[in-house]
Structure 1
């Protein structure tokens, strides 16, 4: 198991005061916001593992999410460098049913808006029908699905199967992301892309909308 940075470790220990102190130090030292986010992501991945191993419970998950919201409120001004002008296109995004994590998704949403996309954020614990309905309604060419808990992977596959059944699969590029996602998960779910991080996700959206 890879060693965690001091910031990631403080997050795993749910030491909110220390996390925010370290973030402030890093911002003060000119550390890029995305690097800080990557450290936090590593901590969140470890928290997800502890949850799945039964060492952490829902209350810890929710608290870790709250700490990250506070981190993001400090980082958001550094992330939003909106390119003004016409919208590049619409992206529908959400965290799949059974998962309440939104920090990774929120980072992607912030970066997408900064890059000039219209983002329809469905939130967390999103049922299959809501994804399908919103893709149909908006005509979006990109659907992003996020998960931090590996037992929700079948849910991603269910959404993609439902898009096929609705006759929408050919018109939408599906991107999945979240700490435990990888190429095998992409193959299992039938998604078009797996984004290793938020920046990759934004670049895929740029590519799709050309």
Structure 2
């Protein structure tokens, strides 16, 4: 691997945002291929962070720090990717459902999805079903992600899916759900396409739903 790419990878895994951003700038300045920087530097690093999390070597704080380092590199690389028309792995609309103001889990999932190569449209918290519907019509995403931290608000996942069905957009998207009270059984009951218990597995799930290597 190119030593500059290796340094980007290390910066992300170690949560060193300064190194990740500076080496990304250097890689672009040296004329390295933008897609290689993305795939071998940033995405590969976030896959490693996900592996470390799943094996119990990293915890949520370490994941957050690494995800922020990845974002610092992505902020520099994104204009180059756009200019070269390098397409993301897919487009994701994500939000915490109506009545729920919790966003830490949703934010971490968003960062991990971005680190897996996805374009993110983050609707924030307390998102009404109609707002999900409007965002889908405007952005034409591949995947919609819904989060809830409360048993009372997770019922709005089902209501949102019904609104998407009534609005005629359900068949064109994949829906993934997660959050503390959400289970795989509940996801199946409400007709979601997938469930993830944590942010790392959410990124792998999204890639699988797009037919990509997890």
Q: TM-score range by the shorter chain?
A: 0.5 to 0.7
| Matched residue, 2:200 | 199
| Matched residue, 1:76 | 67
**CA deviations over 1:46-70 (Å, ceiling 9, x no partner):** xxxxxxxxxxxxxxxxxxxxxx8xx
| Matched residue, 2:188 | 187
**CA deviations over 1:67-120 (Å, ceiling 9, x no partner):** x8xx94x45345557596431121000000111111111111111112221100
**CA deviations over 1:135-164 (Å, ceiling 9, x no partner):** 111111100000010111220001100111
Extract unaligned runs of 5+ from structure 1: 1-25, 41-67
Q: Is the 8 A contact 2:90 2:210 kept in 1?
A: yes
Moved over 4 A (4+): 36-40, 78-85
Going from structure 1 to structure 2, the CA distance change for 1:121 and 1:183 (only over 3 Å counts) comes to same
Going from structure 1 to structure 2, the CA distance change for 1:129 and 1:147 (only over 3 Å counts) comes to same
SS at match of 1:150: coil
Going from structure 1 to structure 2, the CA distance change for 1:95 and 1:38 (only over 3 Å counts) comes to farther
Number of aligned residue pairs: give it: 153
1:42-53 equivalences under 5 Å are: none
Is 1:155 paired with 2:149? no
1:31-110 equivalences under 5 Å are: 35=53, 72=64, 74-78=65-69, 80=71, 85-110=86-111
| Matched residue, 2:30 | none
Q: Is the 8 A contact 2:91 2:118 kept in 1?
A: yes
SS at match of 1:92: strand
SS at match of 2:94: strand
| Matched residue, 1:123 | 124
Going from structure 1 to structure 2, the CA distance change for 1:104 and 1:37 (only over 3 Å counts) comes to farther
TM-score by length of 1: 0.63
1:20-31 equivalences under 5 Å are: none
SS at match of 2:152: helix
* C-alpha distance in 1 between matches for 2:195 and 2:209: 14
Give the Å deviation of 1:203.
1.5
TM-score by length of 2: 0.62
Going from structure 1 to structure 2, the CA distance change for 1:117 and 1:37 (only over 3 Å counts) comes to farther
Q: Is the 8 A contact 1:174 1:192 kept in 2?
A: yes
Extract unaligned runs of 5+ from structure 2: 1-13, 16-48
